[in-house]
Structure 1
Amino acid sequence: MRLHLDRDFLDRLRQHVSIKEIIGRDVQWDTRKSNTAKGEYWACCPFHSEKSPSFKIDETLGRYYCFGCQQKGDVISYLTDHDQLSFVDAVSSLAEKAGMAMPEQVMQKGPRFDDLYKACELAMQFFQAELKGSAAKHARIYLVRSRGLDPDVAAHFSIGYAPSSGRALVEYLVGKAISLEVAEKAGLIAQRKHGDGYYDRFRDRVMFPIHDFRGRVVAFGGRLISGEGPKYINSIETPIFHKKNVLYNLHRARSVAREKMPILVVEGYMDCVALHRAGFPRVVAPMGTAIGDEHLQALWKLVPKPIICLDGDRAGQAAAERLVNLAIPSIGVDRTLSFLVLPSGQDPDDFLRENGSSAFAALIENAQSLASFLWDLELQKEALETPEAIAGLRHRLRQRVQSIPKSLRNDYAKFFHERLLSHDLLPVNQPAGKYVETPQKRKPPPVIIGREDCLMGMLVLRPDCFQGFEEDIAELPIFTQGAQRLKNEILSWLMAVNFDDPLDGRALEGHLKALGHEDAVQTAQASAKGLISGIETLEPVDVHAHWNVIATRQRKHALSKRLEELRAEFTKAPSEDILEKIKHVRADMALLDGEDRPMA
């Protein structure tokens, strides 16, 4: 519940803090559009993705407003809406910056964890000091020789060392007037199971402090240098540290938002440090867990398209698929993901050592879109050596399309449809997925043109009868370019429609006309209505019966043309292979005999 603070205190706080400075951490002011004399500054909005500045602050009034998304407020609401701080934390953060004491009513209201933050801050200072001592020589050697980290980089990330004695931190914190109970609650020490006393949770490890969004130390990660045990351990969950909503290095990554650099998401602390050293400061990592929904929401507040950096091995692919499944329901025009896949078995540090920062920059430049990554993900699941495998790919892609938010569904359907066509996995001129039609130099006979118009008209008028028949439609041989274009657009539309939504011919008609196919649609509809009386009101079983008759004739025509071509080939160069092909075509034609009975 929001506290009712004294209005005078809040007014004084707003006057003491520069809204330009606070918001300036996340945006780059447009010097051409801004008017410094009036205290007016413009930038691209930090609340939504845009290319031209529509976000304005008035430093005199202490207010901001976006003419694009209508987000507005003052410096306090900016921290609550953009940084997702609570009202009390937002006010407390600004008061600390302004050097103002918080009102007593706030200090006494609700849980305060200042003692935990202080304990963690002192622990960080202790670990940093220990790294410089003689007992940490092996830790310094590890950082320099194994990881290539000079003292400046280690200091930038406040990297330290936890001594092996087991009680050094306990004694240090007690000497700094931190109670054992507070140190334990902060996850720094633990009570012995047998006997009295406490011991340090981290021993003989290189220490990485973990900060919250405001830059306060809330936990630690420790890397084993030698001996047995887990390579990395993190602090336990505490009142101020929850793995699901903390990303390592996020507080630093957001501070360079104005640089317009992408944010990279990597696996661990050392990946972050290595990339920072190589010139990529906007890099974060989850806390030894998979990226969760709260992590994604935090990333999307900074950039519309964070780049997920993955190992190319099976474990990396599995982690990527879990992340994709989590992210897809929340994507939109201003929030998505890109993917950077490293060679199998390499982490960012390995890649940088072997190839350098320019090669990594090229990987970033060529990061895959979510749609492209989804395609590769499904394509690699099995070898496409059988019709069943190819059909399985199409089925999985259709399921993927159904999981995409409606605002993007049609675009994803068209993307996958084009990929299937380009890989010859969605045959558009192959009856039964078997025979490739030779491109036509001459205009098809009128009977073929009329038949194709009728088939397309049936699809436009009665799409409700053809949901789930996309593969049959895709394999239907078409000989005119206009009908082929219409068929492709109809297939994309059918793939994008939710299974649970009723199919409306008027919606499909409007969609096709909006794409510039108005004349083709009208011709197709007229052809279908002229051949099939009352098609708009027929039962689906009757529509299918008409479709099967006309489609069978179309397939038989395609097979007849293929037979002519094979006979011509045999005349020029007789062979057993051509005879075998002729035999198969005749067999397929025999199977179609009787399926094109005249319609009643």
Structure 2
Amino acid sequence: MDKVQIDEIKRSINILDVIGDYVELHRAGKGYKALCPFHVEKTPSFYVMPDRQFYHCFGCGKGGDVISFVMDMEGLKFTEAVELLAKRAGIVIKSAPERGGHKSLTDVMEKALSIYRDCLEGASGEIARRYLIKRDLPKEWWSHFEIGWAPPAWDYLWRALSKAGIPAKAVIECGLVVEGSRGLYDRFRGRVIFPVRDVTGRLVGFGGRSLSGEGAKYINTPEGPLFHKGSCLYLLNLAKDAIRERGRAILVEGYMDAIRLHMAGFREAVASLGTALTEEQGKLLKRFTNSCYVCYDADSAGREASIRGMYILQALGLQVNIVSLPPDRDPDEFLQEKGSKAFEDLLKKSLPLPLYHIKIREDLLNDLNLRKKVVEELIEGLSRIDLPDLAPFIPQIAAKLGMPRHALEDELLSARANIAKTRGEKKGKRGNPSVYINAEEQKKRMIDAEEAALFSLLWNDLTKRYNLNPEDVFPLISDDRLKTLIAALLNGEQPEELEERWLKSGDRFPLEALALGNAFCQQFDDRTEIWDVIVNALKVKAMKSRYNALYSKMLRGEATRDEIEEVQKIASVLKGGKMGI
């Protein structure tokens, strides 16, 4: 991959914008802080330094630049991360072929989408075009939502991809074809196609709506290397800016519901690709807002799904309101019939989670045979909400349940304690070293911040690298790993080449050290000679280490006369005087 283009991409991308798609950033001095996306924490220890375009977590030690961040968050290879960032920056680069000269899976998906979109415009797409127009989806919106058409032919897509030189293995991994007794055949046949992109805009899957009435009405790409249904929200890549601007997300079930809302001006709408909302989807929303309006279908299945989903969202810290639609109507139908203003009125009349849950259980509460079970369900659900958030609704809830306020609060606290205990037991059984920081592993990874700062100063200063005497630097560095990195810089290796080599080989230590060093330097104001401060601190540290070692020998009676004199000299130097290179 062209190094000049990599530099251009990094210059064109603001690391704050990229990381802001994954975590909620807050200003902190010259930088920004957030809860670390790489480990579980309650107090922010993850810092982003926009002036140096680096990030560092003081909790788990993770750090690097925008490329390493995307690699870690998206599970991408170096070239894939660069291509993703290039697309975001609007820079056209030649995709690096995978081993054997084959295209990447995302390239295969984009090729398939191109074929589906061509089919919608072709002769075979007449039935799909009529369907879309009948659904009041005008042609000018088709390209906006990248809608396509999968012809009913047995293997139309597979034959087209095969002609383009794409191997069967890649097409199968993408979930585009199925291997059957008669050979390979298309998964999507006779279906209107809705492309599913992740939060960064990367094409990861498809949804297909059948027009023949055969099989399931909707099917999705199966779980695979690219597509994880529970980690996607349809149209989030288009909606995330509007969600931030409006301070809310509108969550619906289906593709057409989300599309209709966008067409009606509700650009903050996303769809959960089905009724089973997951914690991963909730975390995606939490990156952009603290408020979510759940608007599932008005049928009983949709209502129950909204109950399950809203507690997942609430547990993640989102303020959840439930939008109630008229019976037998979904958001798409309601908007076509009543329009945007009527839907906005529904949003205004939406109920907070506690009151909605109580409302839909009112009839059951009046049934003496079911009342005890329903009360237990309500207590268990409501106990997942922090009491300060629940406090405004406590009097109404207590009245509906026929309980004194203090008794209700006791029940909620007791249920909350049981939930916490259960979680603790599960956590103890499972243990997840990839999420929780391992103390022993952390100790091995520890990097001296001042030594890392010296490394980062050399990395960022070409003149300093060329004019510095290595013999003046190496005695100050105790970490052999950092000595190796500094030696590479002082021997004339270019930072860009080193970074690409590290990322391709999977060696994250250099970038983590660099990020820590950059973060350490952030504490100084612009008037401070940071180099002199760091060098002086390291010389003092080296002298103290030498002093302690020699002093121990003296106490044991093992020190030579020269070593005793050296101890005295070091003690004298440490008492005063600045040191520098």
- Common fold by TM > 0.5: yes
Match of 1:359 among 335, 342, 351: 342
Match of 1:163 among 151, 164, 171: 151
Match of 1:135 among 124, 143, 152: 124
Over the matched positions of the two proteins, sequence identity in percent amounts to 30
Match of 1:384 among 358, 363, 366: 366
The alpha carbon displacement at 1:498 in A equals 2.1
Does residue 296 (structure 1) correspond to residue 212 (structure 2)? The answer is: no
Q: Is the 8 A contact 1:135 1:163 kept in 2?
A: yes
1:273-321: CA deviations, max 9, x gaps?
Answer: 1111111122222334511222112222222222211222221222223
Does residue 270 (structure 1) correspond to residue 247 (structure 2)? The answer is: no
Does residue 419 (structure 1) correspond to residue 396 (structure 2)? The answer is: yes
The alpha carbon displacement at 1:125 in A equals 0.6
Judged with a 3 Å threshold, the aligned counterparts in structure 2 of structure 1 residues 339 and 76 are, in CA distance, closer, same or farther, namely farther
Q: Is the 8 A contact 1:265 1:283 kept in 2?
A: yes
- Equivalent position of 1:321 in the other structure: 307
State how 1:34-49 maps to structure 2 within 5 Å: none
Does residue 287 (structure 1) correspond to residue 273 (structure 2)? The answer is: yes
- Equivalent position of 2:181 in the other structure: 193
The alpha carbon displacement at 1:337 in A equals 2.4
Q: Is the 8 A contact 1:95 1:102 kept in 2?
A: no
Judged with a 3 Å threshold, the aligned counterparts in structure 2 of structure 1 residues 123 and 24 are, in CA distance, closer, same or farther, namely same
Does residue 498 (structure 1) correspond to residue 386 (structure 2)? The answer is: no
Unaligned runs of 5+ in 1: 1-6, 49-54, 427-470, 475-487, 503-600
Judged with a 3 Å threshold, the aligned counterparts in structure 2 of structure 1 residues 114 and 371 are, in CA distance, closer, same or farther, namely farther
Judged with a 3 Å threshold, the aligned counterparts in structure 2 of structure 1 residues 112 and 263 are, in CA distance, closer, same or farther, namely farther
Match of 2:333 among 326, 330, 350: 350
Judged with a 3 Å threshold, the aligned counterparts in structure 2 of structure 1 residues 114 and 285 are, in CA distance, closer, same or farther, namely farther
Does residue 398 (structure 1) correspond to residue 384 (structure 2)? The answer is: no
Judged with a 3 Å threshold, the aligned counterparts in structure 2 of structure 1 residues 285 and 420 are, in CA distance, closer, same or farther, namely closer
Query: For residue 355 of structure 2, what is the amino acid of its counterpart?
Result: S
Per mean C-alpha deviation after superposition, the further-off stretch among 392-401 and 8-17 is 8-17
- Equivalent position of 1:310 in the other structure: 296
State how 1:505-524 maps to structure 2 within 5 Å: none
- Equivalent position of 1:213 in the other structure: 199
Q: Is the 8 A contact 1:397 1:416 kept in 2?
A: no
Judged with a 3 Å threshold, the aligned counterparts in structure 2 of structure 1 residues 189 and 493 are, in CA distance, closer, same or farther, namely closer
Aligned pairs, number: 403
The alpha carbon displacement at 1:21 in A equals 5.3
- Equivalent position of 2:13 in the other structure: 17
Does residue 181 (structure 1) correspond to residue 97 (structure 2)? The answer is: no
Judged with a 3 Å threshold, the aligned counterparts in structure 2 of structure 1 residues 266 and 100 are, in CA distance, closer, same or farther, namely closer
Query: For residue 413 of structure 2, what is the amino acid of its counterpart?
Result: V
The alpha carbon displacement at 1:355 in A equals 0.8
Judged with a 3 Å threshold, the aligned counterparts in structure 2 of structure 1 residues 173 and 86 are, in CA distance, closer, same or farther, namely closer
Give distance in 2, aligned partners of 1:320 and 1:245: 18
1:441-493: CA deviations, max 9, x gaps?
Answer: xxxxxxxxxxxxxxxxxxxxxxxxxxxxxx5xx4xxxxxxxxxxxxx5x4454
Give distance in 1, aligned partners of 2:157 and 2:340: 38
- Equivalent position of 1:578 in the other structure: none
Judged with a 3 Å threshold, the aligned counterparts in structure 2 of structure 1 residues 198 and 306 are, in CA distance, closer, same or farther, namely same
Query: For residue 15 of structure 2, what is the amino acid of its counterpart?
Result: I
The alpha carbon displacement at 1:213 in A equals 2.6
Match of 1:375 among 355, 358, 367: 358
The alpha carbon displacement at 1:150 in A equals 1.2
Give distance in 2, aligned partners of 1:189 and 1:72: 39
Give distance in 1, aligned partners of 2:342 and 2:69: 38
1:399-443: CA deviations, max 9, x gaps?
Answer: 4444x26xx13653x4554014555x53xxxxxxxxxxxxxxxxx
Indicate the structure whose relative CO is greater, using CA pairs within 8 Å and at least 6 residues apart. Answer: 2
Judged with a 3 Å threshold, the aligned counterparts in structure 2 of structure 1 residues 27 and 198 are, in CA distance, closer, same or farther, namely closer
The alpha carbon displacement at 1:10 in A equals 9.1
The alpha carbon displacement at 1:26 in A equals 8.7
Q: Is the 8 A contact 1:46 1:302 kept in 2?
A: no
Give distance in 1, aligned partners of 2:102 and 2:360: 45
Query: For residue 128 of structure 1, what is the amino acid of its counterpart?
Result: R
Judged with a 3 Å threshold, the aligned counterparts in structure 2 of structure 1 residues 419 and 186 are, in CA distance, closer, same or farther, namely same
Give distance in 2, aligned partners of 1:188 and 1:103: 21
Judged with a 3 Å threshold, the aligned counterparts in structure 2 of structure 1 residues 499 and 239 are, in CA distance, closer, same or farther, namely closer
Match of 2:110 among 100, 121, 128: 121
Q: Is the 8 A contact 2:247 2:291 kept in 1?
A: no
Judged with a 3 Å threshold, the aligned counterparts in structure 2 of structure 1 residues 112 and 293 are, in CA distance, closer, same or farther, namely farther
Instruction: For residue 122 of structure 1, give the secondary structure of its aligned residue in structure 2.
Output: helix
Query: For residue 115 of structure 1, what is the amino acid of its counterpart?
Result: S
Give distance in 1, aligned partners of 2:18 and 2:167: 35
Q: Is the 8 A contact 2:128 2:192 kept in 1?
A: yes
- Equivalent position of 1:93 in the other structure: 84
Match of 1:62 among 53, 59, 74: 53
Per mean C-alpha deviation after superposition, the further-off stretch among 319-328 and 337-346 is 319-328
Instruction: For residue 142 of structure 2, give the secondary structure of its aligned residue in structure 1.
Output: helix
Per mean C-alpha deviation after superposition, the further-off stretch among 147-156 and 201-210 is 201-210
Instruction: For residue 295 of structure 2, give the secondary structure of its aligned residue in structure 1.
Output: strand
The alpha carbon displacement at 1:159 in A equals 0.6
The alpha carbon displacement at 1:253 in A equals 1.6
The alpha carbon displacement at 1:211 in A equals 1.5
1:230-259: CA deviations, max 9, x gaps?
Answer: 221222222211222122222212243442
Query: For residue 204 of structure 1, what is the amino acid of its counterpart?
Result: G
The alpha carbon displacement at 1:345 in A equals 0.9
Judged with a 3 Å threshold, the aligned counterparts in structure 2 of structure 1 residues 415 and 218 are, in CA distance, closer, same or farther, namely same
The alpha carbon displacement at 1:354 in A equals 1.4
The alpha carbon displacement at 1:357 in A equals 0.7
Judged with a 3 Å threshold, the aligned counterparts in structure 2 of structure 1 residues 367 and 167 are, in CA distance, closer, same or farther, namely same
- Equivalent position of 1:463 in the other structure: none
Judged with a 3 Å threshold, the aligned counterparts in structure 2 of structure 1 residues 218 and 344 are, in CA distance, closer, same or farther, namely same
Query: For residue 355 of structure 1, what is the amino acid of its counterpart?
Result: K
1:34-81: CA deviations, max 9, x gaps?
Answer: 99xxxx899x98999xxxxxx997654335799xxxx99864576579
Q: Is the 8 A contact 1:26 1:258 kept in 2?
A: no
Q: Is the 8 A contact 2:23 2:287 kept in 1?
A: no
Query: For residue 94 of structure 1, what is the amino acid of its counterpart?
Result: L
Q: Is the 8 A contact 2:365 2:374 kept in 1?
A: no
Over aligned residues, Cα RMSD in angstroms?
A: 4.5
The alpha carbon displacement at 1:373 in A equals 2.1
Q: Is the 8 A contact 2:248 2:292 kept in 1?
A: yes
1:546-582: CA deviations, max 9, x gaps?
Answer: xxxxxxxxxxxxxxxxxxxxxxxxxxxxxxxxxxxxx
